[in-house]
Structure 1
């Protein structure tokens, strides 16, 4: 234990002097995620809310054929713009989000009591046009329902005849559960922070020392190599855990700058959220430290190890990609899968649903078992004499 503690203190002290490691583990890694997250969310939320609050400018072709319709749309917040010659090209080239086209026979069909056609021209593949399209469609549907009711009244019929079934929405979501759905990408930032927090340290303590030819003198000491490994892993874990702690605090602070309440959502990144995140993420700290050290052990140079670990960095993203592409119902077995269990658990916390003790225990025990296996495999690799040879 004394050997392990000596190696641990030595590695921590030396890497605190390394600006690259400190910047990556304690500044860049834990802070860049919250900053980017806040900037993106603020931009998206502010833009969408501003678009919803302001009148929408829409080119209207054939406005003269349906003046009453155009007046009704104006009252709902639509600002008709002059018609354009080629509306299809305009929406494809993003010169207009949506174009309304009224045919010449609109008035004739209207006077006959027939269905009058109105065209909405848009490009659904343009991501920034969805809200504008929905607003214009709702305006037209509102006008259609109102005029349909007026036609029934003119014929002495009740408008309720056109709506034999009334739908009463009972949304079971809460302000925090809606926020959890919107911020479901956040667990990936925590995993990425742990990875980045220990990556450069893991590279330097294995591939870096191998390249500097300082690993062989260290192994020449009459102490078991697994004790040396534990000292190095402890140093990596300390940096990773510190990085995660800074990241959690940064998200708690940055959460106050996200105008989620304007969307009817609530964010709670308080102490309860923080300690539960740290608890279920702790096995990943050990697991990723072992995997990073294991992968770096196969590299003969610092640059080569960076290449290998850059590929390994894709692994933590898999659960987030899986859950975003294939939304699935949460099952108890998911908490027993490292990375997936953390993703599911933190998402549940974001939704305001407390984690049960059994879920936390399953997440931690399974993660620690896999971390132990990875550590044993790394210790076995450390026994090889080739590890100390740089060429």
Structure 2
């Protein structure tokens, strides 16, 4: 047992030195958490910006340039009563919108007064630039008010003829939008477990492939296996190196998230983000259980690859393993059941979600995640160690 541990530590130190020499792979590994946290922060700031813009649209007065306002004074009065500042515009309004001199304009035809008096339909033209996203809120409000006035006038005309408006409009749809800014912000926060678990699966892919398929391609694995060192010790030493690198990458990512939680103004979305250092440490602990499985799976896949390039390709496809259940639960947040806590990836996602989104931490769920991960990682490593002594694996034949 003493020799086993001694061999394991020797291999671990040797692989650490090799990893530190590979500056390019190290940069790629530690750029990953920076990229993921950057995406999270950018998404949060975008939603906050859209929320502020929406509030600004509803709080600031909307100015509407109208050509031929004198033709429909009833419509102008309706709009002004609802807070729209109507401004008279000349016949060059269309060109002024094209040139950017006006944001948008409403054009009323010259015969609108006569058509309105005789009950004929009037075609109004709302001119705007669809590429200007800043105008969408104001345009929606103006368009909605015109349709409201249109429905009101239509109903009055029917009543004047002794016809109930309900005959023409048997169904009235009332929009009740429950997708508040807070829920949109919660949706962004719900993507955090997915980003963290993807980091676990991707952090040490290059190093795991190099320590197995890469060494076999360079014929250094064969000389290592000639020694009397146990296969299990050799494999565990390499595996601990990948596990340690994954741990470091996760620490960097969670540290960056702690900074993001401190400075991103989530309160503007109505979100109370209260993630303590203890919560982040517990999240790191449960993610490490997933790292046991992820790194063991990386070694199993790469040991069957014929070359370093093939190993990286196969392990790139391995990313779909956590993505499938993560996307399913992200789209269907209410689909959780108790048996999910016995499934790797899903169990860790549940615990991390509770820790980061203010849920109650269940010690039973925490223990279940670790038990399942340890058993599965042990099975994967045992099977991989058995393959190391096979000629077809060592020499890449067959």
Find the counterpart in structure 1 of residue 81 from structure 2. 72
Distance in structure 2 (CA, Å) of the matches to 1:271 and 1:243: 17
Give the paired residue count.
359
The CA deviation at 1:334 is: 1.5
Find the counterpart in structure 2 of residue 332 from structure 1. 338
* C-alpha distance 5-49 of structure 1, shift in aligned 2 (>3 A): same
Distance in structure 1 (CA, Å) of the matches to 2:86 and 2:395: 73
SS of 1:315 mapped into structure 2: helix
SS of 2:304 mapped into structure 1: coil
Corresponding residue to 2:44 among 41, 44, 55? 41
- Residue by residue over 1:282-326, the C-alpha shift from the partner in whole angstroms, topping out at 9 and shown as x without a partner, is 221010101111111122222111111111112221122112333
Q: Does 1:31 align with 2:58?
A: no
The CA deviation at 1:136 is: 5.2
- Residue by residue over 1:203-256, the C-alpha shift from the partner in whole angstroms, topping out at 9 and shown as x without a partner, is 110111111111000111112211111111111000001111110111111223
SS of 2:368 mapped into structure 1: helix
* C-alpha distance 370-58 of structure 1, shift in aligned 2 (>3 A): farther
Distance in structure 1 (CA, Å) of the matches to 2:329 and 2:105: 36
- Residue by residue over 1:33-90, the C-alpha shift from the partner in whole angstroms, topping out at 9 and shown as x without a partner, is 11222123213321441243145677879865311122134x26899999869xxxx9
Distance in structure 2 (CA, Å) of the matches to 1:80 and 1:207: 75
Corresponding residue to 2:23 among 19, 27, 40? 19
| Structure 1 unaligned blocks of 5 or more | 91-95, 148-168
Corresponding residue to 1:256 among 255, 262, 268? 262
SS of 2:251 mapped into structure 1: helix
Q: Equivalences for 1:112-191 in 2 at 5 Å?
A: 135=141, 179-191=185-197
Of stretches 231-240 and 50-59 in structure 1, the one that deviates more from structure 2 is 50-59
Distance in structure 2 (CA, Å) of the matches to 1:312 and 1:237: 17
Q: Does 1:234 align with 2:240?
A: yes
Find the counterpart in structure 1 of residue 53 from structure 2. 50
| Structure 2 unaligned blocks of 5 or more | 154-175
Corresponding residue to 2:202 among 191, 196, 199? 196
After superposition, the CA RMSD in angstroms is 4.3
Higher Rg of the two aligned structures? 2
* C-alpha distance 12-78 of structure 1, shift in aligned 2 (>3 A): farther
SS of 2:256 mapped into structure 1: helix
Find the counterpart in structure 1 of residue 273 from structure 2. 267
